[in-house]
Structure 1
Amino acid sequence: MKTKFLYTCIAAFLFVAHKAQVGIGTSNPSNSAVLELSSTNKGFLMNTVALTSATSAAPFGSNVEGMWVYNTATAGTSPNNVIPGLYYNDGTKWVLMSINNDLPKIGDLKSSMATTDHDGWFLLNGRNISTLPSISQTNAAALGFSTTLPSSSDRILKGKNTSEAVSSTGGSNSFSIAQANLPNVNITGTTASSGAHTHSYTNRGVNYWNYNAGSINTTRTIDTEVRTTAAAGDHSHTISVASGGTNTAITQYPKHLVVQYFIYLGK
């Protein structure tokens, strides 16, 4: 038996050395191929491994340029996390083979008509991250969410400025108008007809003068004074014009379309 096996190995070696091409499923492999597979009802099954990170060679001892594997694990932390798929090694790291340039990255946001978590996308509803799958908890913590996810409910997304932290919340969907917000206009009105006040009047025909014109005594009246009522009637007036308002806050919603916001935390 051992002799037969040895002969088979020698024959195979001599055939490969002579032919320089190997065909599986074909007796006439291409001269341009070292190995050609041929089948109408079978495929090529790539070896499967569980990678730990794009920057780690594990489970291999070192990075080997040109190595191809199919990864079955979801592992690592962004941006070096890995997901199930076909990877090749470029000599320093594992690179996911994909023609899709829009693959989501950990921390990506999207709006959607979907109402529940899906495909590694998690609804931003303020939930505790302990309710997420373990890999998603790890990725959420790496983004700085140590306790809860942010809540996007009833909020408009805003880019941060230099003094704000990512995921901080603020603002209000309503406001009250203060006096400083009003335009500078004069509001006029008329006081009521009642109320004490001063009056000026002219005293007419109350002073009489007697004099003699020759042998005849004569009197005459003259207009003499302009007078004002007594100081007790002197006063000022104030006026107030009621707006009729009740300080009801204004609901500040521009025209909008209601959607849900999701964050990608892996799967």
Structure 2
Amino acid sequence: MKKNYVNTLIGILFFSIVKSQVGIGTPNPSNSAVLELNSSNKGFLMNTISLASTQSASPLSAHTEGIWVYNTATAGTAPNNVIPGLYYNDGAKWVLMSINSDIPKIGDIKSSMVNADHEGWYLMNGRNTSTLPASAQASAATIGLTATIPNTADRILKGKNTSEAFAATGGASSYTLSQANLPNLTFTGNTSTDGAHVHTYTNRGVNYWNFNAGSLSATRTVNTETRTTGTAGNHTHTFSVASGGTSAPIAQYPKHMVVQYFIYLGK
């Protein structure tokens, strides 16, 4: 077997020197190709290796521009992590080959009408990361999700401000107005001043009653008496008006369409 292998190699090398092109499966390789493969029922199997990250040449000894490999490993830390796929080396790093110009990165979020995990995208439903595949757990840890995936049920996405942490949740689906939320207004008013009414009061003034007895005059004092006012004296009344409310909260959802949110943790 070893002898046949050596003879075949010598034959290929000799043929290459003579014709400058090598054909496997064809006696007439293209003049524009150094090597041409031809088969109606077989394909070309790329060399498979396990890369460590896009920045590391390993398991090669150094980055070499133009080398192609098929990577079988899911490894590294975002954004330099690698996933299974065809890579080429540009002399400084490994580059994943794809016809899609928008390759998802670990931590990317998308909305979708799909209702289950798919192609490395995981439903953001608050589950424990320990329930995910090992590779997805490792990817989740690189972006700080070590316990649970955030739950986006009934939530919209909000941009981070300087005091917030990524994946923090907050807000409410409704709110209730309190007195402090109302404008500072004073409602005043008076009732009509000529409404008919009476008041009864005790008059404690001193009244004098004069009379004559014979040739002598006398004065008698009356200390108190009860009087009634007229029915049309000016007056005011205070009053209160109930709002009739029941403190029901106000729903704050605008018009919307329901979708699912997914986070990309790699295939």
CA distance in 1, matches of 2:98, 2:171: 41
Match of 1:42 in 2: 42
User: Cα distance 1:67–1:189, how it changes in 2: closer, same or farther (>3 A)?
Assistant: farther
Q: Is the 8 A contact 2:68 2:88 kept in 1?
A: yes
TM-score (norm 2): 0.75
CA distance in 2, matches of 1:2, 1:263: 52
Match of 2:135 in 1: 135
Once the two structures are TM-superposed, the CA of residue 264 in structure 1 deviates from its matched residue by 0.7
What value does the CA root-mean-square deviation take over the aligned residues? Answer: 3.6
One-letter code aligned to 1:82: V
Match of 2:224 in 1: none
Is residue 64 of structure 2 the alignment partner of residue 85 of structure 1? Answer: no
Q: Is the 8 A contact 1:106 1:264 kept in 2?
A: yes
CA distance in 1, matches of 2:152, 2:179: 32
TM-score (norm 1): 0.75
User: Cα distance 1:15–1:114, how it changes in 2: closer, same or farther (>3 A)?
Assistant: closer
Match of 1:253 in 2: 253
Task: Name which of structure 1's ranges 177-186 and 143-152 shifts more when overlaid on structure 2.
Answer: 177-186
Q: Is the 8 A contact 1:189 1:239 kept in 2?
A: no
| Deviation digits for residues 20-71 of structure 1 (CA, Å, limit 9, x no counterpart) | 2111122222222211112233221112222222122222222222111111
Q: Is the 8 A contact 1:187 1:241 kept in 2?
A: no
Instruction: Extract unaligned runs of 5+ from structure 2.
Output: 202-226, 230-234
Once the two structures are TM-superposed, the CA of residue 163 in structure 1 deviates from its matched residue by 2.1
CA distance in 1, matches of 2:139, 2:172: 30
| Deviation digits for residues 68-89 of structure 1 (CA, Å, limit 9, x no counterpart) | 1111222222111111211111
User: Cα distance 1:140–1:29, how it changes in 2: closer, same or farther (>3 A)?
Assistant: same
Identity of aligned residues (%): 65
Where 1:262 maps in the other structure, the secondary structure is strand
Where 2:138 maps in the other structure, the secondary structure is helix
One-letter code aligned to 1:48: T
Alignment of 1:48-87 (within 5 A): 48-87=48-87
CA distance in 2, matches of 1:6, 1:87: 31
Instruction: Extract unaligned runs of 5+ from structure 1.
Output: 200-226, 230-234
Is residue 183 of structure 2 the alignment partner of residue 179 of structure 1? Answer: no
User: Cα distance 1:83–1:12, how it changes in 2: closer, same or farther (>3 A)?
Assistant: closer
Match of 1:119 in 2: 119
Where 1:110 maps in the other structure, the secondary structure is strand
Match of 1:214 in 2: none
CA distance in 2, matches of 1:85, 1:112: 25
